[in-house]
Amino acid sequence: MEATWQVYRIRLAKQVMQVLERADIESIIFGGHDSGVTQVRGYQNYDISDLEVQAIANPTAKRPWVDTSVKSADFERVFFQVSPKSYADFGSNLGYYVFKCAQEFDIHATGVDYNFEYISVCQGIKARHTASLAEFKYTNLEQWHNASDYYDFMTVFNVIHHLYNRTEKYMDMNRLIKDFASKADTILFEVPTEQDSKGHKWTMDTGYTEELFYETALSMFTQVERMPGQTKHRPYYLCVK
C-alpha cells in the first residue's frame, strides 16, 4: 500500500511541476559491472567513484557559464571559508556539488530539483557509488521552503531568473529571496543580471535587475558580498545571516 501511495505522490507532483524542457544530459557512462568510475556529461561534467568526485572542464564551447571545473574551484573556496556541517544545492542538476560534499567532504548533502530526470539520474549514481550522505529531493521552492529541513550552507546557481519569471513565476524578489533565506544560514547565489543574454530573455519587462536582488538581499542578510563569476554578467553573491 505504501509503495502504491509513493508512486501516486510522484505522479501527482509531476503533474504540478511541469518542466519546460528536457534535462540537459549528454551521457551517463557507468562502464559495465567492473567499472569503478561513472562519467557524467551534460550541463555538469564530472567523473565519480566511491571515494572521489572529479570536475571536468567543459568538453565544448557550449555553456560558458557552467564550466564545472572552474565553478568547482569557486565553490570550494567558499565552502572551506564557511566550513559547514550540512549543505543543500537548489537546482542541483546532475548532482556534482552534492556528491562532492558527500563523498569527499564527508557531510550530509541535499540536492533539490523540480526536474524528475535529474533526480532519477542522481539516484542511480548514488546507488552505484553508495553515496549514503547524499540525498535528492524532487520538489520546487514554493513547496520546499515550507519543509522543516535547514542547512548551514546552500548554493543557488543560475536559477534566480528562472524562478522569477519562468519555472515558478514568483515575480516578487522579496518573496523569492525570503523563501531561500528560510532554508540556510549562508547562501551562495549566482545571479544572472539583466545584461546576461538568458537573464534578459527570461525576465525582460518584469522589473528584474541585479540591483533589486542586491537591495532585497541586504534586507534579509547581515552580510552580502558580490564576487566575480564565470562570466561578467553572472556574479556570485555570498549572503550570510
Q: Which domains does the chain have, with CATH numbers?
A: 2-240 (3.40.50.150)
What's the pTM?
A: 0.89
Q: Which residues of 86-101 are buried (b: 16+ CB within 10 A; e: fewer)?
A: bbbbbbbbbbbbbbbb
Question: Which stretches does DSSP call E strand in 123-207?
Answer: 134-138, 151-157, 184-190
Write the pLDDT tens digit of every residue in 150-166.
Answer: 999 999 998 888 888 77
- In angstroms, the Cα distances linking 55 to 48, 93, 123 are 9, 14, 19
pLDDT (tens digit, 9 = 90+) per residue, 95-119? 999 999 999 999 999 999 999 999 9
Q: Of 21, 23, 66, 17, whose CA–CA distance to 46 is shortest? A: 66
